[in-house]
Structure 1
Amino acid sequence: MRTLLLMVGFILFVSCELFTSRQKHTDRLINEELMAIDWNDVDQYPLFEECDELAEKPLQLQCFREHMIRHMADTLEGLEYQVSEDLQDTVRVDLLIDEHGFITVLRVQGTDTVDQMIPGFNDEITERLNDLTTVKPAIKRGVPVSIKFRLPIVLNTEN
């Protein structure tokens, strides 16, 4: 009888441990998978229609940047400012491309020199670039995701 009681107790103990260990095992696998994901990279960059979505990632990024720069140049074409002295500087534009492919200017990071010589330049850039076209969003593990980019605008004037 004592042996039977010990066996029943052992079986109950082991069966409870099985449920607990399965949950712990599942949690551990999920945590390992989450830790293995590189959250700073995407599987596919945002793409303009002219870009090949089957191309390798570096080519996708290159195509995206080239088309984005072309769109920015077309959008900013015709902006004219007069400055009192030569200006050679770079303004950086932080863009957000959301999971729907909409492009938004997060920030225009100019310099004090640009702010002094061309008042309102950052606001004008933001206003014009917020009307850019949409793109196919970036993809991470099969899901559309938001991504940020920083693109430079080089200012070079001659009096």
Structure 2
Amino acid sequence: MELQNKLTPFIWYERGAEDAVAHYLRVFGPGSGRVLHTQHWGENAPGPAGTVMLQHVELLGMQMTAFNGGPHFKLNEAFSLTVACEDQAEIDHLWEQLPAGGGTPLSCGWVRDAWGLSWQIIPKAWFRMVNDPDAARVQRVFQAVWGMHKIDLAALQRAYDGT
């Protein structure tokens, strides 16, 4: 297997990286990605021999590595993956499904999944709105988001429009 991307996230999970990968593929649905390679721990390795050490995965066109590294490092909000959603239905689906099984919804469109990985679930329109040359529009959008947990696209549009 050869990496296709020059820059590839390497995500350290305490355990269950392969379960996290399976969850992501289920949540994003058929055709969203695939496991490219699975590597197992060998004899005299830090992990139990024969168990999954890592998986190289393609998800939504991005390659990443999910690693079962043990308790030495913890995932936190200092690293997150951003999903640019087409519409409110996609936001709603991901907001509900990504944290399923023990994760936590957070503020400003963020969720943490059951393995500790943080996700930003935002509409594609967000990028257009916050890059508007009108500073007042941008400020209204930020003010609206700071008061939200799950992003409400219609409310965001109203803030952007000033209505």
TM-score bracket for this pair, using the shorter chain length: under 0.3
More helix by share: 1
Larger gyration radius, structure 1 or structure 2: 1
Q: TM-score, normalised by structure 1?
A: 0.22
More strand by share: 2
Q: Which has the higher contact order (CA 8 A, sep 6+)?
A: 1
